[in-house]
Amino acid sequence: MKILVIGSGGREHAICWKLAQSKLVENLYACPGNPGTAQIAKNVNFDFENFENLKDFILNNSIDTVVVGPEAPLVNGIHDQISEDESLSYVNVIGPKKHGARLEGSKEFSKKFMFRHDVPTAKYQSFTAETLEKGEAFLETLTPPFVLKADGLAAGKGVLIISDLQTAKEELNNMLLEAKFGDAGSTVVIEEFLDGLEFSVFALTDGKDYVILPVAKDYKRIGEGDTGLNTGGMGAISPVSFVNDIMMQKVEERIVKPTVAGLKKDNIDYKGFIFFGLIEVKGEPFVIEYNARLGDPETEVVLPRLKSDFAELLHACGNGTLAEKKIEFDSRTAVTVMTVSGGYPGGYSKGKEIIGLEKVTNSIVFHAGTRKENNKILTSGGRVLAFTSFGDDKQEALLNSYKSIYKVDYSGMTYRKDIGFDL
The residue ranges that bind ligand AMP (CB under 6 A) are: 122, 147, 149, 159, 191, 193-194, 198, 277, 288-289
Nearest distance from C-beta of residue 47 to ligand GLY, angstroms: 24
Q: Is 233 in the site for ligand GLY (CB under 6 A)?
A: yes
Window of 82-90, 109-117, 288-296, 322-330 that interacts with ligand GLY by CB under 6 A: 288-296
Show the DSSP H helices in 288-364 as ranges. Answer: 299-305, 310-319
CA-angle at 300, arms to 16 and 372, nearest 5° = 60
d(CA 254, CA 44): 41
Nearest distance from C-beta of residue 198 to ligand AMP, angstroms: 6
How many other CB atoms are there within 10 angstroms of residue 257's CB atom? 15
Q: Which does 233 bind (CB under 5 to 8 A by kind): ligand GLY, ligand AMP, none?
A: ligand GLY
Cβ proximity to ligand AMP, 197 vs 212, nearer residue: 197
Cβ proximity to ligand GLY, 25 vs 213, nearer residue: 213
Window of 266-274, 290-298, 304-312, 343-351 that interacts with ligand GLY by CB under 6 A: 290-298
d(CA 204, CA 321): 12
d(CA 5, CA 15): 8
The residue nearest ligand AMP at its CB is: 289
Spell out the residues 6+ positions from residue 285 whose beta carbon is closer than 8 angstroms to its own.
120, 247, 250, 251, 254, 255, 278, 279
Window of 240-248, 295-303, 354-362, 390-398 that interacts with ligand GLY by CB under 6 A: 295-303
Q: Is 300 in the site for ligand GLY (CB under 6 A)?
A: no
Identity of the residue numbered 101: A
Window of 13-21, 23-31, 114-122, 292-300 that interacts with ligand GLY by CB under 6 A: 292-300
Q: Is 108 in the site for ligand GLY (CB under 6 A)?
A: no
Cβ proximity to ligand GLY, 12 vs 296, nearer residue: 296
d(CA 246, CA 161): 30
Q: Is 151 in the site for ligand GLY (CB under 6 A)?
A: no
Distance of CA 110 to the CA centre of its chain: 16
d(CA 402, CA 50): 41
Q: Write the binding mask 72 to 91 for ligand GLY: x where contact by CB under 6 A, - elsewhere.
A: --------------------
Q: Which does 260 bind (CB under 5 to 8 A by kind): ligand AMP, ligand GLY, none?
A: none
DSSP-based helix, strand, coil % in the chain, nearest 5: 35, 30, 35
Q: Is 295 in the site for ligand GLY (CB under 6 A)?
A: yes
Nearest Cα neighbor of 299 from 244, 238, 251 is: 238
Q: Which does 191 bind (CB under 5 to 8 A by kind): ligand AMP, ligand GLY, none?
A: ligand AMP
Among 12, 171, 298, 300, contact with ligand GLY (rule: CB under 6 A)? 298
Cβ proximity to ligand GLY, 230 vs 395, nearer residue: 230
Q: Which does 218 bind (CB under 5 to 8 A by kind): ligand AMP, ligand GLY, none?
A: ligand GLY
Helix axes 98-105, 107-116, angle to 10 degrees: 100
Q: Is 218 in the site for ligand GLY (CB under 6 A)?
A: yes
Cβ proximity to ligand GLY, 109 vs 410, nearer residue: 109
Nearest distance from C-beta of residue 70 to ligand AMP, angstroms: 15
Q: Is 104 in the site for ligand GLY (CB under 6 A)?
A: no
The DSSP result for 15-41, as a single string, is HHHHHTT-TT-SEEEEEE--TTGGGTS
Q: Is 272 in the site for ligand GLY (CB under 6 A)?
A: no
Number of residues forming the site for ligand GLY (CB under 6 A): 6
- Cα–Cα distances (Å) from 408 to 57, 357, 358, 403, in that order, read 36, 6, 9, 9
29: left (phi over 0), alpha (psi -120 to 50) or beta: beta
Nearest distance from C-beta of residue 218 to ligand GLY, angstroms: 4
Q: Strand 42-43 relative to strand 27-32: parallel, antiparallel, unpaired?
A: parallel
Q: Is 296 in the site for ligand GLY (CB under 6 A)?
A: yes
Nearest distance from C-beta of residue 356 to ligand AMP, angstroms: 33
233: left (phi over 0), alpha (psi -120 to 50) or beta: left
Residues that bind ligand GLY (CB under 6 A): 218, 233, 291, 295-296, 298
